[in-house]
Structure 1
Amino acid sequence: MRHNPDYALEDLAGIKELIRQHPWCIFVAHTPEGLIASHYPVLLEEQAQGQGQDDDDELVLLSHVGRPDETRLGLGRAGEGREEELLAIIQGPHGYISPSWYGYRPNVPTWNFATAHLYGVPEVLSDAENLAVLHRLVEHFERPLPDPHLLDATQENSEYARRIVRGTVGFRMRVTRIEAKEKMNQDKPPGSVRNIIEELRSPGPYAQPALADRMERVNAEMLGDSA
């Protein structure tokens, strides 16, 4: 990722929140076959499940892959995981920013985004641990629904979950290195930032209301001071 201190996202709590809000992850491994990428949802391993409370100094990912991706990614077996780093990429809201939105010239087009590159050596889980992670994943995404379909909701579901766990490999990844960036026009005048936010919320080919909301949060102090 291009080095630019102006856009560095170094707040670990903020990085964790980015993961919670955007859990669809790209895992990249360097293997004898070359670079291999796979896409799976992730959760944070948190001490108080469901409460968003964890060790402020540690970031641990939980996920799983469908067989045979564990072989392609070189994850190994439980207790015999890979020794090389795995890269996990989290992508938050992003979108095109037209130079016509700044309110002054000259300017150039750009792309606003929030992303985190997370590195660590994965630890392959046992079947029992993997099943627990699958339960958490399903519960995490199903709970907001009016009729959540949980893996352990019925005896039939529980038996089904025990069958499907054999087709997946779960893993835990303690993140040891982070590169994160949040480019939200922090270096532009408040008037330009307000106009960009308005454009992103307006109908059009580059409307991105989620990106507008994040821009507003990131630049809240600057926008408030200039009110």
Structure 2
Amino acid sequence: MYLPEHFAEDRPEQLHALMRVYPLGTLVMHSDAGLDANHIPLELLAEQGAHGVLQGHIARANPLVQQITDGAPVLVIFQGPHGYISPNWYPSKHETHRQVPTWNYQVVHAHGRIRLRDDERFVRGLVARLTREHEAQAEPERPWKMTDSSPDYISEMLAKIVGIEIEIERLVGKFKLSQNKAAADVAGVVDALDARGQQPLADTMR
């Protein structure tokens, strides 16, 4: 990833925060079948390992189950707020006409090693944790629980998925948020994003 110094973000707490708020990771892996990408909600266990551990699950029918070799290198991409930035939003453009369009965004690349966790206890615990976390946001008053369904049905569903675990070896963050622009131009972009309902990106730039 091209990473100019002024867009580089290497503070673990900032990288972890983005990974938690936007947990749908793009898992990129190379196997005998070539490059493949899967989109998987992942749980970050920041306290485990040198740089953290990611855990998730995939369908047992996914060809990835057969392609994974324990210890194989993988890349997981987490994407935060992003959006097009018009030159017209910079006050300096109207004075000098020396601005061009760009795109602002936040991404974290997690490089690590993957392994399968094909055991019912691991998968059940993972699904329970993911459910509690995301139901608390989606349905805080009446969160769905695994016990809402019959034990037989839950066991049947769990048997159709396989756990994965990725030990993170390196995190690379790029937060491209107009850090290379004058304060007045940054403020102009934030105001324009606010006016267009792009609140997450505007708030991040603030």
Q: Same fold judged by TM-score > 0.5? A: yes
Q: Aligned pairs, how many?
A: 199
The 2-side partners of 1:86 and 1:10 are apart by: 20
Structure 2 residue 47 is the aligned partner of structure 1 residue 59: no
How high is the TM-score relative to the length of structure 2? Answer: 0.89
SS in structure 2 at match of 1:187: coil
Q: Structure 2 residue aligned with 1:212, among 174, 199, 202?
A: 202
Once the two structures are superposed, residues 169-221 of structure 1 have per-residue CA deviations (whole angstroms, 9 ceiling, x without a partner) of: 11111100222100000111111111100000103xxx4211000000xxxxx
Structure with the bigger RCO (C-alpha within 8 Å, sep 6+) is 2
Report the equivalent of 1:12. Answer: 12
Letter in 2 for 1:192: D
Q: Is this contact kept in 2: 1:29–1:87, CA < 8 A?
A: yes
Q: Is this contact kept in 1: 2:50–2:168, CA < 8 A?
A: no
Q: Structure 2 residue aligned with 1:170, among 163, 171, 176?
A: 163
The 2-side partners of 1:8 and 1:111 are apart by: 16
Letter in 2 for 1:186: Q
Letter in 2 for 1:114: Q
Report the equivalent of 2:182. Answer: 189
The 2-side partners of 1:90 and 1:23 are apart by: 7
SS in structure 2 at match of 1:199: helix
Change (3 A) 1:35 1:4: same
Identity of aligned residues (%): 28
Runs of at least 5 residues in structure 2 that lack an aligned partner in the other structure: none
Q: Is this contact kept in 1: 2:72–2:115, CA < 8 A?
A: no
Q: Is this contact kept in 1: 2:32–2:67, CA < 8 A?
A: no
CA RMSD of aligned residues (A): 1.8
Report the equivalent of 2:91. Answer: 103
Structure 2 residue 111 is the aligned partner of structure 1 residue 119: yes
The 2-side partners of 1:57 and 1:71 are apart by: 26
The 2-side partners of 1:161 and 1:43 are apart by: 20
Deviation of the 1:19 alpha carbon: 0.8
SS in structure 1 at match of 2:132: helix
Runs of at least 5 residues in structure 1 that lack an aligned partner in the other structure: 47-53, 76-80, 217-227
The 1-side partners of 2:48 and 2:45 are apart by: 9
SS in structure 1 at match of 2:9: coil
The 1-side partners of 2:26 and 2:17 are apart by: 17
The 2-side partners of 1:56 and 1:83 are apart by: 14
Which stretches of structure 1, 4 residues or more, deviate above 4 A after TM superposition?
none
How high is the TM-score relative to the length of structure 1? Answer: 0.82
Report which of the two has the higher share of strand: 2
Report the equivalent of 1:51. Answer: none
SS in structure 2 at match of 1:69: coil
Q: Is this contact kept in 2: 1:123–1:171, CA < 8 A?
A: yes
